[in-house]
A and B are shown apart, each in its own frame.
Chain A
Amino acid sequence: MRIPLRWTLAVAATLVAACGSKQQPEAPAPQPAAAPTPTAEPAPSRPAPTPTPAQPDRTAEDAAAAAARVTAAVLRELGQMVHFDFDRADLRAEDRALLDRVTAILRTNTGLQLRISGHADDRGSDEYNLALGNRRAGAVKTYLGNQGIAGSRLAVVSYGEERPLQTGQDEASWAANRRAEFEVTGGGTNLRMP
């Protein structure tokens, strides 16, 4: 069974009392409160992580809550999107940091499986945009594969222009819709932060 990441996030968010703001798909995800400082450089678009004091002496319930908090934080990172130029499927330099972060998450969580969905703005024919979305999702998969992630853990799918995030006829809307998203299709529980 495939659970859209946004729903998974919504469920996870209810477990995290500290998290007050609702996740917006098109906005960069805020860094999770419980996340340790990542070894990799965070993407420039993301705010710096804010570590909270460790709370070592808690009950089992608190440990479960902490684990859920970490899982939600990882899922939130995976809720970020890769964006593309018009009519292009090559990755932008500024998205490499995000993709390297996703690579690290996949390496740390060896049971995690993702589906990468490619999307297009509504210029070009409906059908060409399906091909373009497929190519965009494939570009992300190829990048992750070149980092050593097994292809069997990564499915690709294209929705073309069928699932826009924004419906406006302007460059901002088009840019938001030209994207690839990650969706957890397996091993999405008890995730660890790399």
Chain B
Amino acid sequence: MIRLLHAAPPTLLALWLVLPVSLAAQDTLRPPDGVRVGIEYRPGFRPAVVVLPTRGLDSIRAIITRDLDFSDRFEVVGLAAGDTAASAVNVGGRTLNYALFRTLGAEFAVELVADGVATVIRLHDITAGIPRREARFTFPPPFDQGFRMAVHRAADDLVRWITGTPGYAASQVLFLVERRLYRIDSDGEGLAQVSAAGEDVLSPVWSPDGSQIAYTRFGDGGGPIVVRTLATGQTTAVPGTTSALNITPAFAPDGRILAFARSDEDGTDIYTVDIAQQCCLQRLTVGRYSDNLSPTFAPNGRRLAFVSSRAGQPQIYGMAADGTDQELLAPFDFGVTGSSNAPEWSPDGASVVFHRDVSRAPQVFVLDVATRRVRQLTSSGRNEDPTWAPDGRHVAFVSDRSGRRQLWVIDTITGRIRQFQLPGQTRLPAWSRRLAGSAPGTH
């Protein structure tokens, strides 16, 4: 997907020759010196942004710079900490040498100013030649558990200031290595094990507010679904799941209802239960000769997408949240189209991402719900179990393209991809929504 553009526009090329690439944190995407990494598919204009260095705020600058880059909304201009251009512009407080940055091709500059224990983040509009917006942030000290997530939230605000919608940096991804549950920050930092020692986990998901997770505690062939409150580590078994094998939980957007699939001698079917009141188990599907599983709520809570093998092989269907009005959601050609699995409804409600076998290898697809058209996002290796980032634009999935099953992130707009560097063979990722506070509770 990514190719090296040697024939960059003259101004940009000049910029990159003048300013050595210095995004040290950008390990996996660092291009060779003097070469610009571009994307084949660029439907939209991406403004160039520079984050100015400030003495003492290097770690904050590094995190914000990488978050802006990973948002895939901007061309992030590299600037060395000791660059003369920086010292030339970062004097005099509220005004920059806008003319110089215009020459360098930047549309926006982000200035970080230490102000006592607080940090002021100021966004400059280079084109207009004015400071556009600023806010004071009080970050926990570096190495504090909440520091990185607090800076990620500031970076998400910056993305919102420029584009109108926030970034996805303040979020985490749950995933499994074998049957152990881990989580990692959206930028690949902060890897931590979540499951207790000896606990076998399947089907992890986040609650909408990020304060809880649910998963299958996989026992000897059976297993309940448990809800864990991250702040306390307390787990409770979900009513109706304490017998047989219960898998693929999904929180409704209000966080009060949990949908899941129950696998017993009658087959596998989807149920909902009120976890707020611990009551009211309701069966949504009746598949005597088919399996129904992997429910996922639309963000309005009124409809569910799910997997059903009612046509012989698993495909993606939809239904109302009470189980009525069931319909095929992702079109397929009987006997031609491969099996389809693992749907997840996008945070903006417009799309459902899933994987579908193509020539015996699963590939990630996006369904546009309004038009029912599907688009294939991946083609290299086996790519499965996609999960939406909170921006409704990026998708994490498991791919073996590097030889091991690893987590990758793709920007569904530009096709740009990056990899989480993780140990072992990973599977079943689940991306949180934007997280409000720090998230303790690891083991």
A interface list, Cβ under 8 A from B? 2, 87, 115, 117, 123-128, 130-132, 134-135, 138, 141, 156-159, 162
Contact = CB atoms under 8 A, between A and B. Distances in A.
Contacts of A135: 267-268, 291
Contacts of B218: 162
Contact of A134 (B245, B314, B362): B245
B67 to A, nearest CB: 31
B221 A124 contact: no
B366 interface: no
B360 interface: yes
Given A127-B293, A134-B245, A135-B268, A157 B222 contact: yes
Contacts of A131: 247, 261, 263, 267-268, 291, 293, 309
Contact of A127 (B248, B309, B357, B360): B248
A2 B427 CA distance: 30
A167 to B, nearest CB: 11
A150 B222 CA distance: 22
B427 A117 contact: no
Contacts of B362: 123
A125 B355 contact: yes
Interface in B353-382: 355, 357, 360, 362
A124 B314 contact: yes
- Of the listed residues B203, B247, B263, B264, the one surrounded by the most CB atoms of chain A closer than 10 A to its CB is B263
Contacts of A125: 294, 307, 341-342, 355, 384-385
B169 interface: no
15 contacts: A2-B220, A87-B312, A123-B357, A123-B360, A126-B202, A127-B294, A127-B341, A127-B342, A128-B309, A130-B245, A131-B247, A132-B309, A134-B267, A158-B221, A158-B263
Given A115-B221, A156-B265, 7 more contacts: A124-B339, A125-B341, A126-B385, A128-B307, A130-B268, A131-B268, A134-B263
A132 B308 CA distance: 11
A134 B267 CA distance: 7
B313 interface: yes
Contacts of A115: 221
Interface in B197-252: 202-203, 218, 220-222, 245, 247-248
B428 interface: yes
Nearest to A154: B265
B280 to A, nearest CB: 24
Contacts of B265: 138, 141, 156
A123 B384 CA distance: 10
B291 A158 contact: no
B247 A130 contact: yes
Nearest to A132: B291
A124 B360 CA distance: 9
A103 B63 CA distance: 65
B222 to A, nearest CB: 7
Contacts of A124: 314, 339, 341, 357
B221 A128 contact: no
A100 B218 CA distance: 33
A165 to B, nearest CB: 16
A138 B261 contact: no
A39 to B, nearest CB: 31
B221 A159 contact: yes
A87 B339 CA distance: 9
B226 to A, nearest CB: 16
A115 B221 CA distance: 11
A190 to B, nearest CB: 26
Interface string B261-274: 10111011000000
A130 B293 CA distance: 10
A115 B313 CA distance: 26
Contact of B313 (A87, A130, A158, A159): A87
A141 B267 CA distance: 12
Contact of A126 (B220, B222, B267, B427): B427
Contacts of B342: 125, 127-128
Contacts of A126: 202, 385, 427-428
6 smallest A-B Cβ distances: which pairs?
A: A157-B221, A125-B341, A131-B268, A131-B291, A134-B263, A125-B342
Contacts of B291: 128, 131-132, 134-135
Contacts of B261: 127, 131
Contacts of A158: 221, 245, 263
B285 to A, nearest CB: 12
